[in-house]
Amino acid sequence: MEQSAVTPSTGWGVLHLYYRVDPALPAANRGAAGAAVVAAVESLEADGHQVVVQAILGHKADLGFIALGPDLARLQRFQQELLAAPLVPEWSYVSLTELSEYGATEDDERARLAVEENLAGEELEARLAVWRERITHYREQRLHPRLPAKATCCFYPMSKRRGPGDNWFELSFAERKELMAGHARVGRTYAGRVLQLITGSTGIDDWEWGVTLLADDPVVLKEIVYEMRFDPVSARYAEFGPFFTGLVLPAAEACARVGLGADGRR
């Protein structure tokens, strides 16, 4: 019996799945395995979900999948379809799209416009109307993102430190919000060059957040992470998990690159 939909009350479910091709898989079966992967991806997309397929660089895995959408039960079925392809699971991560609790409010923006730009009255209200439209689009993209077709992708999980002297969760909300505002300013300097998707996993996986970065130029992936390492949010309070980097490709091409193409070569 088909599992009924499991839909978060806010946002979407996100699976980061990393697999290895079984070296013992006979060459005669490799083309069929690749076709099964392509069919699983196409079926999930037909059901209103998104999949970013990657041929992974390095030896942590062969194939990577970022699958996201409204139904956790459908995402779970997708991961089982990949196992049946067959692919050997190497690593996975479960998270949900979310809004940042530190995002600017309308009162924050009103105060900023009054203090920094000396606006008041109708001019201030007009600027606020533009801000509301922009923030509505931004929040929708955070909760229900449409991931673009970039050439490369990097993913890593992270948590905030809770050690003596550097415990993020002992800071006041105002302190945390001020620190995150500085962190966000660094990220905004990469707008247009890298898409950043931050998903939450506190209580549902080993780390607290997942960071997905998509860019056409792989140098930008390195630059944004390096620059943010100097920000106090990272330098003092962040712990990082493993990094997975891959080439973003159509499913059939990614499969062919790891030996699951029509000719079965590896």
Evaluate whether residue 263 is within a structural domain.
no
Is residue 171 in some structural domain?
no
Q: Specify the DSSP class assigned to residue 2.
A: P
Within a domain: 241? no
Asked if the structure places residue 146 within a domain, the reply is: no
Residues 6+ positions from 176 with CB-CB distance below 8 Å: 102, 168
pLDDT in tens, 52-88: 999 999 999 999 999 999 999 999 999 999 999 999 9
CA distance 233 to 227: 12
Contact criterion met (CB below 8 Å) for 182 and 231: yes
| 110 inside domain | no
Write down the pTM of the prediction: 0.93
Q: How far apart are CA 41 and CA 45, in angstroms?
A: 6
> Which portions of the chain are predicted below pLDDT 70?
1-3, 263-266
The pLDDT score that the predictor gives to residue 151 is 98
Number of domains forming the structure of the chain? 1
> Given this model, what pLDDT does residue 165 score?
84
d(CA 52, CA 77): 17
Q: Is residue 75 part of a domain?
A: yes
- What's the DSSP call for residue 102? T
Q: For residue 237, what are the CA distances in angstroms to 171, 204, 210, 211, 264? A: 11, 21, 15, 16, 47
Q: Could you list the residue range(s) of the whole structural domain that residue 78 is in?
A: 13-98+249-257
Quote the crossing angle between the two packed helices 121-143 and 106-116, to the nearest 10°.
140
Comparing CA positions, the residue from 137, 134, 128 lying closest to residue 108 is: 128
Integer Cα distance of 162 and 200 in angstroms: 17
What pLDDT, on the 0 to 100 scale, is given for residue 75? Answer: 98
Domain-embedded: residue 104: no
Supply the residues annotated as catalytic. 156
Convert the pLDDT of each residue in 214-229 to its tens digit: 999 999 999 999 999 9
The domain spanning residue 45 has which CATH number?
3.30.70.1030
Geometric angle at alpha carbon 205, from 72 and 51, rounded to 5° = 45
